[in-house]
C-alpha cells in the first residue's frame, strides 16, 4: 500500500468506514496515514495528500470524524483485552460460576453502549474477518475466550505462534467439530473411566486407589491426543504421571489387563515401602497399544515412578530423547512426551521448572512436551489460596512461553478440542504446551481420608455434583444423538464388565449395585427415575437362581425399600437354580455366561436353559 488510489470510489459517510470499505484488512495503515495527515498534511506522500483531500476536505477539523476514529481505536483495544484476559471470566470450574467481568472486558469502558450493538467496525482479522458489528464481535470473543476454554497465549513473543493459536481458536470458537461417532466415543471413554473407579470402590473397600473421579475427562482427553498422534504417524508416546488416576490410565489408556490390576490389589505389596503400604501399584509402569477410531495405532508407554511427585519428569524427557536419537528422529516428531501433573505439585515442586527449562536446550530438547495438569483444586488438604502465590497453578509454564489452555473438565467436548489443539501445536512448533484440566476430587486424597472434615463447603458441593458421564449422556439424549435407554440392567460384581463389553448396540443402561447392605434403596430409586416408567428392569447375576443376591434384591423391591417402585421387582436374568455353584465344565460355563449376558441385554441368541431366564412373575 505505497501509493494511494487515484480516487475515492464512495461517498465518505465517515472516514473510518470509508477507509475500511476501501482497504479492508489494510485499513489500519491508511488510518495511520490519516492520523499523520491530520497532524500535518505535508507529512504524508503526495498521492495520499491528494487522496485525503478528495476524501473530505473538512475532515481535519471535523469533530464527528475524530470521534469515530477514536472509537474504532478503542474497539481494537477491546478485542485485545478479550484475547489477553478473557480467560479470567471463562466458565472453567465445574464447582462454581465464573467471577464478575473485570472492567477492561466491559464494552462501556471503551465508550461503547448498547446503541452501538449493530454498528459496524473494523476488526483487523477477528475470526478471519475484517469487519463486524459490535454484537458479532462480542459474540466471537465471548464464545472463543469466555466459555469452557480459557486461553493464555498473548504473552508469547513469537508472532507466528500467537497468530496461529489465535486463528485456530477464533475460527472454531474453541470448539471441536464432532460427528456422532466422535461423541459416542467420548461418552464411552467417560463411562469406562467412571465404571472402573466404581468397581474398585465397591470391590476393594478402603483400599487406596487415588481415584480419578471428578477428573474422568482425562480419559477422553488422552484418547483424543493419542488418536491424533496415531493418525499423524507417530510411533510412540511416553507418559509420566503421579498417583492420581494412575490405575485408570493403566486400564483405560495403556490397556493393562484388568485381571493384573485386580491381582495387585489382592496382595502384591512392595517390601521396600514403609510397612508394605500397598503403594506399589501406583509406581508401576506398563506399555500397550492405542488404537485410533480409524484403526491407526501408537505404542503407549507409562514410565514407572517413585512417590516423589514430579521426579519422573526429567526421566520421561530422557526416555524420549534416547528413543528419538535411537530412531534417528532428529525432527523429534515421532516420539511424544506427555507429562501429567497434580495442581499443587505443578505449582510447588522445583523440578517442574527445572524440566521446563530443559525444553529449549539443544542437548536436552525432546521437541516439545504436552503437559496435562489434573487440577482438582486441592493438594491433599490444602486449597489453592494456601498452596501458591500465582493466579493459576500453571503460571510457571509462562516462563518458557508455553501456551496454557484451561478447560472445564465437565465439558468433555471442549476437553477433546484442547487435546487436539495442543497436539497440533506441539507438532507444528515443537514447543511445550500446557492443558489445565479444571476438575474436582470426588473422594479424599486417598480413599481412607474423609475430606469433609477439612473442606466441608467444597465437599457439600461435590456430593451434590453429578458425574460427567451422567451429565454428558443426558446432553446426548437431549440433542437426539442417542436414545434414552429403554431398558435398565441391575448387576453386581464383575458381570458388569461382561455386560459393558457386550452392550454395543443394545439400548440398555447398566446400573451396578455394588453395595447390598445396608441396601441403598433411595439411591437406587434416584437412578431408576432416569428411565421411563414403562422401561423393563432386569436383575442380572452369574450365580444360579437360588444363590447370589437375587432373592435378597427382589425382596428389597417387594418390601418397598426402593421408593417409587410400588412393589415392582425387576425381572431375573441368570442361570437356572442348581445345587452346585458352577457346572463343572468350562465350556458349558462359558456358554451359560454368554447366555446370561444375552438375557440381561435382551440380545438375540440361543434359548435359555430351562428354569433360567427372565422371570416375568417378578412383578406383583
Ligand X SMILES: Cc1ncc(C[n+]2csc(CCOP(=O)(O)OP(=O)(O)O)c2C)c(N)n1
CB of 344 to ligand X, least distance (A): 3
Q: Give the CA angle between residues 226, 227, 228 to the nearest 5°.
A: 90
H/E segment holding residue 73? helix 63-85
H/E segment holding residue 140? helix 134-145
> Which one, 59 or 372, has the nearer CB to ligand X?
372
Q: What is the dihedral of CA 272, 274, 278, 281, to 10 degrees?
A: -50
> Which one, 334 or 441, has the nearer CB to ligand X?
441
> Which one, 284 or 562, has the nearer CB to ligand X?
284
CB of 568 to ligand X, least distance (A): 43
> Which one, 123 or 376, has the nearer CB to ligand X?
376
> Which one, 2 or 389, has the nearer CB to ligand X?
389
* Pick from 544, 539, 541, 576: nearest CA to 558: 539
CB of 87 to ligand X, least distance (A): 20
CB of 450 to ligand X, least distance (A): 16
* Pick from 440, 492, 505: nearest CA to 466: 440
What are the residues whose beta carbons fall under 8 Å from the beta carbon of 466, sequence distance 6 or more? none
> Which one, 388 or 614, has the nearer CB to ligand X?
388
CB of 95 to ligand X, least distance (A): 14
Q: Give the CA angle between residues 501, 481, 190 to the nearest 5°.
A: 45
CB of 597 to ligand X, least distance (A): 36
CB of 382 to ligand X, least distance (A): 8
Dist. CA 436–CA 92, nearest whole Å: 10
Dist. CA 188–CA 202, nearest whole Å: 21
CB of 137 to ligand X, least distance (A): 38
* Pick from 440, 397, 428: nearest CA to 152: 397
Dist. CA 289–CA 298, nearest whole Å: 6
CB of 165 to ligand X, least distance (A): 27
Which DSSP symbol is given to 618?
Answer: G
Dist. CA 337–CA 328, nearest whole Å: 16
CB of 380 to ligand X, least distance (A): 4
Give residue 174's region: left, alpha or beta (phi > 0; psi -120 to 50): left
Dist. CA 513–CA 549, nearest whole Å: 10
> Which one, 380 or 552, has the nearer CB to ligand X?
380
426 in Cβ contact with 180 (< 8 Å) = no
> Which one, 165 or 393, has the nearer CB to ligand X?
393
- Which residues are near ligand X by CB under 6 A? 244, 307-309, 342-345, 349, 374, 376, 378-380, 441, 445
Chain-centroid distance, C-alpha 75: 33
CB of 250 to ligand X, least distance (A): 16
Chain-centroid distance, C-alpha 620: 45
The x, y and z cell numbers of residue 521, run together, are 434403596
Chain-centroid distance, C-alpha 456: 26
88 in Cβ contact with 144 (< 8 Å) = no
CB of 458 to ligand X, least distance (A): 13
Dist. CA 407–CA 175, nearest whole Å: 11
23 in Cβ contact with 29 (< 8 Å) = yes
Which DSSP symbol is given to 3?
Answer: S
CB of 456 to ligand X, least distance (A): 18
Longest CA–CA separation in the chain, Å: 107
Could you list the beta-strand ranges (E) of 257-310.
Answer: 286-291, 297-302
What are the residues whose beta carbons fall under 8 Å from the beta carbon of 463, sequence distance 6 or more? none
> Which one, 449 or 470, has the nearer CB to ligand X?
449
Pairing assessment for the beta strands 297-302 and 286-291 based on DSSP bridges:
antiparallel
CB of 389 to ligand X, least distance (A): 16
Tell me the residue number closest to ligand X, measured at CB. Answer: 342
User: What is residue 297's three-state secondary structure?
Assistant: strand
CB of 351 to ligand X, least distance (A): 8
Q: Following DSSP, what letter does each residue of 498-565 receive, concatenated?
A: HHHHH-TT--EEEEE----SS--HHHHHHHHTTS-TT-EEEEEEEEETTSTTHHHHHHHHHTT-STTS
Amino acid at each position: 500500500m505505497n501509493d494511494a488510489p487515484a480516487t475515492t470510489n464512495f461517498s465518505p459517510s465517515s472516514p473510518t468506514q470509508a477507509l475500511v470499505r476501501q482497504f479492508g484488512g489494510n485499513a489500519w495503515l491508511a488510518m495511520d496515514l490519516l492520523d499523520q495527515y491530520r497532524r500535518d498534511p505535508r507529512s504524508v506522500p503526495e498521492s495520499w495528500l491528494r487522496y485525503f483531500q478528495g476524501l473530505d476536505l473538512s475532515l481535519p477539523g471535523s469533530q464527528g470524524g475524530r470521534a469515530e476514529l477514536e472509537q474504532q481505536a478503542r474497539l481494537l483495544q477491546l478485542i485485545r483485552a478479550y484475547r489477553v484476559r478473557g480467560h479470567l471470566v471463562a466458565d472453567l470450574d465445574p464447582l462454581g460460576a465464573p467471577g464478575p467481568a473485570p472492567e477492561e472486558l466491559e464494552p462501556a469502558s471503551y465508550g461503547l453502549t448498547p446503541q452501538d450493538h449493530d454498528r459496524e467496525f473494523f476488526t483487523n482479522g477477528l475470526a478471519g474477518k475484517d469487519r463486524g458489528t459490535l454484537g458479532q464481535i462480542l459474540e466471537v470473543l465471548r464464545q472463543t475466550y469466555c466459555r469452557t476454554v480459557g486461553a493464555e497465549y498473548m504473552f508469547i513473543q513469537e508472532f507466528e505462534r500467537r497468530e496461529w493459536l489465535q486463528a485456530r481458536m477464533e475460527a472454531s470458537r474453541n470448539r471441536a467439530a464432532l460427528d456422532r461417532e466422535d461423541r459416542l466415543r467420548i461418552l464411552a471413554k467417560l463411562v469406562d473411566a467412571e465404571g472402573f473407579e466404581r468397581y474398585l470402590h465397591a470391590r476393594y473397600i478402603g483400599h487406596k486407589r487415588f481415584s480419578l473421579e471428578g477428573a474422568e475427562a482425562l480419559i477422553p482427553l488422552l484418547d483424543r491426543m493419542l488418536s491424533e498422534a496415531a493418525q499423524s504417524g507417530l510411533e510412540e508416546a511416553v507418559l509420566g504421571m503421579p498417583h492420581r488416576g494412575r490405575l485408570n490410565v493403566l486400564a483405560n489408556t495403556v490397556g493393562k489387563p484388568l485381571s493384573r490390576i485386580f491381582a495387585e490389589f489382592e496382595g502384591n505389596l512392595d517390601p521396600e515401602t514403609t510397612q508394605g503400604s500397598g503403594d506399589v501399584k501406583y509406581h508401576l509402569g506398563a506399555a500397550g497399544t492405542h488404537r485410533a477410531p480409524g484403526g491407526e495405532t501408537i505404542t503407549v508407554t507409562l514410565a514407572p515412578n517413585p512417590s516423589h511427585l514430579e521426579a519422573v519428569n526429567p526421566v520421561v524427557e530422557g526416555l524420549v530423547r534416547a528413543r528419538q536419537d535411537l530412531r534417528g528422529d532428529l525432527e523429534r516428531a515421532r516420539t511424544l512426551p506427555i507429562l501429567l501433573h497434580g495442581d499443587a505439585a505443578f505449582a510447588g515442586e522445583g523440578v517442574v521448572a527445572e524440566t521446563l527449562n530443559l525444553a529449549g536446550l539443544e542437548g536436552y530438547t525432546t521437541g516439545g512436551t504436552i503437559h496435562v495438569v489434573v487440577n482438582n483444586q486441592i493438594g491433599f488438604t490444602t486449597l489453592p489460596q494456601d498452596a501458591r502465590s500465582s493466579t493459576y497453578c500453571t503460571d510457571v509454564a509462562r516462563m518458557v512461553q508455553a501456551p496454557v489452555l484451561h478447560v472445564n473438565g465437565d465439558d468433555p467436548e471442549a476437553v477433546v478440542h484442547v487435546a487436539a489443539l495442543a497436539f497440533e501445536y506441539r507438532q507444528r512448533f515443537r514447543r511445550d504446551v500446557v492443558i489445565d484440566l479444571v476438575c474436582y476430587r470426588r473422594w479424599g486424597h486417598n480413599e481412607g481420608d474423609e475430606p469433609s472434615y477439612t473442606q466441608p463447603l467444597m465437599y457439600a458441593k461435590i456430593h451434590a455434583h453429578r458425574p460427567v458421564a451422567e451429565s454428558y449422556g443426558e446432553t446426548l439424549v437431549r440433542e437426539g444423538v442417542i436414545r434414552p435407554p429403554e431398558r435398565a440392567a441391575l448387576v453386581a460384581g464383575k458381570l458388569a464388565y461382561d455386560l459393558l463389553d457386550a452392550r454395543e448396540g443394545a439400548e440398555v443402561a447398566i446400573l451396578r449395585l455394588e453395595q447390598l447392605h445396608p441396601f441403598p434403596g433411595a439411591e437406587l430409586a434416584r437412578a431408576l427415575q432416569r428411565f421411563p416408567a414403562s422401561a423393563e428392569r432386569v436383575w442380572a447375576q452369574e450365580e444360579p437362581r437360588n444363590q447370589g443376591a437375587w432373592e435378597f434384591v427382589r425382596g428389597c423391591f417387594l418390601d418397598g425399600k426402593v421408593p417409587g417402585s410400588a412393589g415392582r421387582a425387576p425381572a431375573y436374568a441368570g442361570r437356572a437354580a442348581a445345587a452346585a455353584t458352577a457346572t463343572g465344565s468350562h465350556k458349558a460355563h462359558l456358554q451359560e455366561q454368554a447366555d446370561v449376558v444375552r438375557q440381561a441385554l435382551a440380545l438375540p441368541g440361543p434359548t435359555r436353559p430351562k428354569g433360567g431366564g427372565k422371570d416375568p412373575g417378578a412383578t406383583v
